Structure 1
Amino acid sequence: MPELRTPLLSVENLTIAFGGLVAVRDFSIAVAPGTIHALIGPNGAGKSTTFNCISRLYRPNAGRILFDGQDITRLPSSAMAGLGIARSFQNLELFNELTVYENILIGAHCHCGASLRDRLSARPPHLAAEIDRIIERTGLGAYRETKACNLDFGHQKLLELARALAIRPRLLLLDEPAAGLRNREIAILDGLLTDLARRDGLTILLVEHVMQLVMSISDRVTVLNFGTKIAEGTPQEVKSNPAVVEAYLGKETALHG
């Protein structure tokens, strides 16, 4: 377990409501640099809503969000990439008619002053080597010039991750990266995310329902239920927490998963 350090990301007393429905209430989390922190809970618990607040797609009603000590609660979502925050979504957001290389090149937009059209036509040489490294790192080397629509689902998920890495993030927000993947693909994702955190020092916050991945790679796990934090700790501590077992994991999953 990594030693406790000043958090790279702090969410303090976050509350957001839609009409009269409170989706997240008084939620706080601290994510240490270079760690993998999982946010889990039943469907509708408020996990993606919390992600949308952190990435500035939603504006909370109360609380604040700090990134590397800077209050980003009121910043626009367009400022996140420049700060070094990247995220993926539950539903793939790829450019289907563009190649793997071109999709990742678009992800590098904050490091390239040219227009989108110029980037795609010229393929800036100062980014080419970096993009090729990302392609190889994510196991997409054989698909460099393949259109995104022609990839299988597992490789499409890797492409979305690769595009996020092109932002050169310090914080990577992953919304259900293992959803829909087969066991072999989950094992590949496990190794890749662990390597990114341990070798590169990347900080990862992920929402995930696949407990096989969560329990394998996470340094800490936070559990939401009905918009409220009910538990937090190491994977083993959370897995054996009675409140978590009752609300989410279920007895069999808690014992074996």
Structure 2
Amino acid sequence: MKYLYMLTGVVHPERADVNVTSTRIELGDSGDVINFSIYKSRIAFTVETATLLNESGMNSLRLFAEEQVRTVVDSLGFLVGCGYDIEIIQCIEPQHQGHLIFGVEEKYLSELNYAELVEPIELVEILNSKFGAYLRRCLNDLRLAIRTPKDSAFYCYRAIECLTHYFLNNGTPNKSEAWQIFRDNIGVSKDQIMYIKKAADPIRHGNPLEVQTADRQRVMIDTWAITMKFITFAKTSA
């Protein structure tokens, strides 16, 4: 028995009016068939598969769909000199009338409840302080870590590395000492940071074929914890 899943989404910025004719791909190993097209920056993506998916499976399907569509949209963006992004918003399973709207957050990150530890106005004050240049770049990378799962480790490590430059640019003579002072002041172990670095290294060094075995969820949670510790350090050092 085959199950048909329909996913819809959008290309950002929507005003770009991106159009891609219908594309069909047969996945040889699984026998699944995918079709997708883009009309006026609206994405239609269907998957015909023998697998009945639960909510977790639909979320995995979303990541797969984003990867497939992003490859095409990135190619188009290169040719016309535009920086496009995409978002898959919902999944519909017509046979069983299932309908799932994908959330905008990583649930395990939202459950950390960091909003209870720092008020938004406090964070704004830090962003406008001597720590701001480093933290703004860090938060920018963490946004990209959420939005591009395949490169999450890369962005997470770069976000942390950026925070160490606060110490490097404020009296620490070299990077090695800056990392040590960062770990001592923030209260984080070297092993914790090295796990994230090891996960990031293949993409950092431009090797897309190296197998990545790190746990993305662990990388993300640890990075959020390290960033929160830096924010706490900044609050008490202002």
TM-score (norm 1): 0.25
Query: Which structure dedicates a bigger proportion of its chain to helix?
Result: 2
Q: TM-score, normalised by structure 2?
A: 0.27
Highest RCO, 1 vs 2 (Cα 8 Å, sep ≥ 6):
1
Q: Which has the larger radius of gyration?
A: 2
Larger % of strand: which? 1
